[in-house]
Structure 1
Amino acid sequence: MIQITDSMLGAFASASLYSKEGKGFEATVIAKFFMPFTSAVWLVTEAERQEDGDWIFFGYCHILEWEWGYFTLSEIAELELHGITAEVDCELPEGLTVGDCLKSLFVGEKFMVC
């Protein structure tokens, strides 16, 4: 189960949908979700709470390939692969951009799982 902390809620509140439009790889990452032992990563740059209590996010994601898109917290939380579920990167430093995160994910030409 993914636990959303108070600090994450504060970050989500300060980065509403469309607030970083046009910033691309310079957009600040407010949360990072990942599936251990896989290449699945979600770099959240914008967030908005839905009427049903779920969160809709916008960010840069990798499942089979990198792409910008919308996704929800419930979609991430429902994923399971042989008992592996998504987690929050609790050690994500504040102020990192999407570009900064991508640099830390790659070593040489090899994709590194965080």
Structure 2
Amino acid sequence: MELWPASLAEITPDLYATEEVESEDKEVVAKFFALGSSLTWYVVEAQKLEFGDVLFFGYVHTGDWNSEWGYFTLKELEQQRYLGGIPRIERDLHFEKKRFGELDLEQ
């Protein structure tokens, strides 16, 4: 699975573009999740970096009080693998862009 297709990159604001937008009103454009855990990454902004990497800003939901807004990279997500090399991170193919305040983080 391609985690970050061009179709998502095209609709995602650049880093700092939503800096003045209240958290609840920021638009989440993509959702990544770790198989077998409650870790979920919600992408709000992105910037292509050198060597093909992408720096994201979004909400990292850990399933507990440690959840927070922050930065993460595409390479960090792609490098998370199970023994045997099976990718651990997937993109929710059914996720549709929505305001952060509309997310159900209790799932």
TM > 0.5 fold call: yes
Does residue 61 of structure 1 match 2:53? no
- Written as runs of structure 1 = structure 2, the 5 A alignment for 1:1-114 is 2-12=2-12, 15-22=13-20, 23-63=22-62, 65-81=66-82, 83=86, 85-94=88-97, 96-101=98-103, 103=104, 105-106=105-106, 112=107
**Aligned partners of 2:2 and 2:99: how far apart in 1?**
22
Q: Give secondary structure in 2 for the equivalent of 1:80.
A: coil
- Listed as ranges, the gaps of 5+ residues in structure 1 are 107-111
- Map Cα deviations across residues 48-80 of structure 1 (whole Å, 9 max, x no partner): 000221000000002362111011000011113
Equivalenced residues, count? 102
Identical counterparts, % of pairs: 34
**Aligned partners of 2:36 and 2:48: how far apart in 1?**
29
CA-CA distance at 1:97 after TM superposition? 1.4
Q: Give secondary structure in 2 for the equivalent of 1:7.
A: helix
CA-CA distance at 1:81 after TM superposition? 4.6
TM-score, normalized by length of structure 1?
A: 0.78
> What amino acid sits opposite 2:69 in the alignment?
W
**Aligned partners of 2:79 and 2:8: how far apart in 1?**
20
> What amino acid sits opposite 1:80 in the alignment?
R
In structure 2, the partner of 1:109 is: none
RMSD: 1.9
